Amino acid sequence: MAKAIDNATAVLISDIQTGDTHPNQMIATEAVRLAARGFVKLTATGDLAITSKAHRALRRFEKQNEIAVATEAVRGVIDEILVEPGAVTQHRAVWNAVGGPDKFERDTVLQALNVLKAEGVLNNHRTSGNNFQIFWKRADDVVPTPDFEEN
């Protein structure tokens, strides 16, 4: 997996992309730092240019920041939804509670739920093999699986 960029590198790449900073106007240490990571290259005319690798790194950085914001929003919603012991919720209910498609993409909220699962705050509970029957619960709660009759 690619090494994550820091905030200063993200700002510098963004400034170059928007035209606020010209690659040839960077200080030497910035240029060397970006070149060492493969984010700038030397063109045929001798100018510095940003690479596609830098564009991808910036997109990953922005996506990770969006997931971090969504995680905090989901954490707040979970505290409101999962109040009672044994309470469960579904992904769509959480997504709608944090603002739905107007605020976050569906996948971003799912990734935020998975971050909270990795932190040990949540766990998912499957009642069957159906993807629409995946419920989220607090990690320390015990939720019984219902028995289904077969026809």
Q: How many CB atoms lie within 10 A of CB 112?
A: 27
Angle at 120 (CA atoms; ends 66, 84), nearest 5 degrees: 100
**For residue range 111-139, what is the model confidence (pLDDT) as tens digits?**
999 999 999 999 888 777 776 778 898 88
* Cβ proximity of 112 and 78 under 8 Å: no
* pLDDT tier at 19, thresholds 50, 70, 90: confident
* Cβ proximity of 25 and 16 under 8 Å: no
**Mean of the per-residue pLDDT values of the chain:** 87
**For residue range 49-77, what is the model confidence (pLDDT) as tens digits?**
899 999 999 999 999 999 999 999 999 99
Q: How many CB atoms lie within 10 A of CB 5?
A: 20
pLDDT at 103 over 80: yes
Measured CA to CA, the distance from residue 105 to residue 70 in angstroms comes to: 10
